[in-house]
Chain A
């Protein structure tokens, strides 16, 4: 073991699993899809991240798991919610940010931060509208690849108003509009505006303060970011890799915790579980 200490964050979201390894800098960041067996997959993405960073699992000083699958990571030393982790990760990248919008695969949330700490948050995880799931459904029914939605929407002559707030009904509405000859670009722009409206009404409860940033898969959609900027009446900052802020925050919180423990005079020990594949139903 050298002098450099390594810390890992594992963020198991509804759709993607993210691993970040940090030392004094970000060593590596890796993203893989989340399977139905979270625990097996967390193991796999972690292995890939370790080999990318030329590290062995034993060389990690601490592992923090986050995201909605956080309890399913047997080799983690601690679980911290994605709210706290996103705030920490994003603050380390963009320290001027006070309001975070996170648009994930199956939820969306707003987080208010002050000096890197969460002071308030709101979550929507009851309804697909306003989440990445909505985009997936629409992309599918319009035959446009998910990662092309943003690009296509920028060619819209107008945003077609989508009146249904429910994802299922909105899909019907979009298909009907398509049959009426409405251009695909306009429809996608309309969907972005609909999501932006939902997200704005959620996050508004937090007394929004600038700067505003966006994380999660939604941040990768330029059309959606533009729609959000129009709703919020302010630029919305996008971190270099918006998917990894949760895992990054988890790794940094682990690092902080260990360093504080050492200052307090005791040596933090890793949990006994190695990186073996977890047994299911245990």
Chain B
């Protein structure tokens, strides 16, 4: 049972979104081990190859942080604090273990706070490097080997190269399927709304890859049957940021009379475009995807000879997506105290604007308590570009 036979794709996505982790709980009852993780830097192929259920942790924007603040200072990013608060309150009690990849200081400097307070049977800190040169690729492969070793020990099974190669194929296929669903947003009007898409993205990160692929396929079938309403006057918006994992912001955009048609979020566009090279050694392929192909601001890129070339290497994909999805305006949404994204804001903003696309830069909490003022800015931005 995949949970899919009885209900339609979008309804299933809606349920997985609303009851986060529901599928992991079912699979745990069937005897599967569940491993939680944070960040787009998690090499999910390894977890899939190990046969565990990977669940990317999320926060809950409607809930105030009540317990987490006793463990983490307010200088830690509001998203990480919210997720930790949810974890410490038992929202992810289905986890048998967790992996924290080294994305930013808010994650890596709180590793011991997580591990000692959650006290799970399995724990791993994945020390992902932050530069993209040759030695870093070698380092990445080495830490992947260490990680695989700890998982094998915990599970008492061998994770073979063949299993990893198989998992790579499955995840690449999953990424292709998700991009096909994204394609249905290119029409005017888009066939699937930004709010619906958010639910699909969140659902997809809470289930095993084969189920995710089946779910996305089903949704694509359903959505393809829709006819685009003739509503050509709405502005087409793209959102850029890290883990936005709730419908509050997409709703604010779409209720204000625009379409959210594309994103470069760490649970969306950022992870579904780059694939792992299937022709090379599996660990080499994984190392290259996570270090060089994933465009996230904690990874320092200096491939070019000039500043302009570096900008192109770092943000070129944004211009491509803006063109492909006919984006009229970009919203850059950064969480408060997020250094890595904060550092990049001026360069990213001017790069996108140089292509003629207006940018709204928002810096805010991971909470719906401040939504009214975010809405005013979004509405004013839409009025400005109308």
The residues of A with any CB-CB pair to B shorter than 8 Å are 68, 79-84, 117-121, 123, 125-126
Query: How far, in angstroms, from A117 to B380 measured CA to CA in the complex?
Result: 11
In the complex, per-residue mask of B364-378: 1 if CB is within 8 Å of any chain A CB, else 0 = 000000101100110
On whether the beta carbons of A121 and B380 are closer than 8 Å, the reply is: yes
What residues on B are CB-neighbors of A118 within 8 Å? 380, 383-384
Q: Is the CB of A121 within 8 A of B373?
A: no
Provide 27 A-B residue pairs closer than 8 Å at the C-beta atoms, listed in order of the A residue: A68-B372, A79-B379, A80-B383, A81-B376, A81-B379, A81-B380, A81-B383, A82-B376, A82-B380, A83-B376, A83-B380, A83-B383, A83-B384, A84-B380, A117-B384, A118-B380, A118-B383, A119-B384, A120-B384, A121-B380, A121-B384, A123-B373, A123-B376, A125-B373, A125-B376, A126-B370, A126-B373
Q: Which of B339-383 contact A (CB under 8 A)?
A: 370, 372-373, 376-377, 379-380, 383
Query: Which 4 A-B residue pairings sit nearest by Cβ, starting from the closest?
Result: A83-B380, A81-B380, A84-B383, A118-B384
| Chief secondary structure at chain B's binding surface | helix
Q: Of the candidates B370, B377, B383, B384, which one forms a contact with A123 in the assembled complex, judged by CB atoms under 8 Å apart?
A: B377
- Nearest-CB residue, chain B, relative to A67: B376
Q: Please, how many angstroms separate the alpha-carbon atoms of A10 and B355 in the complex?
A: 38
Q: Which residues of chain A come closer than 8 Å to B384, judged between CB atoms?
A: 83-84, 117-121
**Interchain CA distance A123-B376 in the complex, whole Å:** 10
Closest beta carbon of chain B to A202's beta carbon, Å: 13
How distant is B378 from chain A, measured CB to nearest CB, in Å? 9
CA distance A119 to B380 in the complex (A): 10
Q: How far is the CB of B235 from chain A (nearest CB, A)?
A: 14
Residues of A within 8 A of B372 (CB): 68
> When chains A and B are docked, how far (Å) is the Cα of A42 from the Cα of B377?
23
Residues of B within 8 A of A (CB): 370, 372-373, 376-377, 379-380, 383-384
Give the chain B neighbours of A68 by CB distance below 8 A.
372, 376
Inter-chain contacts of B383 with A (CB < 8 A): 80-81, 83-84, 118
A125 cross-chain contacts in B, Cβ below 8 A: 373, 376
Residue in chain B with minimal CB distance to A84: B383
**CA gap between A121 and B380 in the complex, in Å:** 9
Chain A residues with CB under 8 A of B376: 68, 81-83, 123, 125
A69 to chain B, nearest CB (A): 10
In the complex formed, the residue of B with least CB distance to A80 is B383
Give A118 to B380 CA distance when docked, in angstroms. Answer: 9
Closest to B385 in A: A118
- Seed contacts A81-B379, A82-B380; 13 additional CB < 8 Å A-B pairs: A80-B383, A81-B376, A82-B376, A83-B376, A83-B383, A84-B384, A117-B384, A118-B380, A118-B383, A118-B384, A119-B384, A121-B380, A123-B376
Residue of B nearest to A119 (CB): B384
**Bound complex: CA A120 to CA B372 (Å):** 20
Output the nearest chain A residue to B383 by Cβ-Cβ distance.
A84
Chain B neighbourhood of A123, CB < 8 A = 373, 376-377
- Which chain A positions have C-beta within 8 A of B377? 123
Chain A residue numbers with a CB within 8 Å of B379 are 79, 81
Give, as a whole number of angstroms, the nearest-CB distance from A146 to chain B: 25
A111 nearest in chain B by CB position: B380
Contacts of B380 on A, CB cut-off 8 Å?
81-84, 118, 121
**How many angstroms between the C-alpha atoms of A84 and B380 in the bound complex?**
6
Query: Closest A-chain residue to B365, C-beta based?
Result: A126
Counting chain B CB atoms within 10 Å of each CB, which of A80, A119, A126 scores highest? A126
Q: State A242–B370 Cα separation when bound (angstroms).
A: 28
Q: How far is the CB of B376 from chain A (nearest CB, A)?
A: 6
- Minimal beta-carbon separation of A219 from chain B (angstroms): 20
| CA–CA, A56 and B372, complex, Å | 33
**Distance (whole angstroms) from the CB of B179 to the closest CB of chain A:** 33
Q: Distance (Å) between the CB of B318 and the closest chain A CB?
A: 20
Cα of A117 to Cα of B373 in the assembled complex, Å:
21
In the bound complex, CA of A68 to CA of B372 (Å): 8
Rounded to whole angstroms, the CA-CA distance of A224 and B349 in the bound complex is 33
A120 to B358, CA, bound (A): 9
Residues of B within 8 A of A117 (CB): 384
In the assembled complex, which residues on chain B have CB atoms less than 8 Å from the CB atom of A79? 379
Question: What is the CB-to-nearest-CB distance from A77 to chain B, in angstroms, rounded to a whole number?
Answer: 15
Complexed CA–CA distance, A80 and B384 (Å):
11
Give every chain B residue within 8 A of A81 (Cβ-Cβ). 376, 379-380, 383
CB of A106, distance to nearest CB on chain B (Å): 10
In the complex, how many angstroms separate the beta carbon of B381 from the nearest chain A beta carbon?
8
Q: Given the complex of chains A and B, what is the CA–CA distance between A83 and B379 in angstroms?
A: 9
Closest chain-B Cβ to A87's Cβ sits at a distance in Å of: 9
Min CB gap A84→B, angstroms? 4
Nearest chain B CB to A78 CB, angstrom units = 11
How far is the CB of A11 from the nearest CB of chain B, in Å?
A: 13
Whole-angstrom CA separation of A125 from B372 in the bound complex: 10
Q: How far is the CB of B261 from chain A (nearest CB, A)?
A: 22
Closest residue of chain B to A123 (Cβ to Cβ) is B377
Return B373 CB to nearest CB of chain A, in Å.
5
Most buried by B among A68, A79, A81: A81
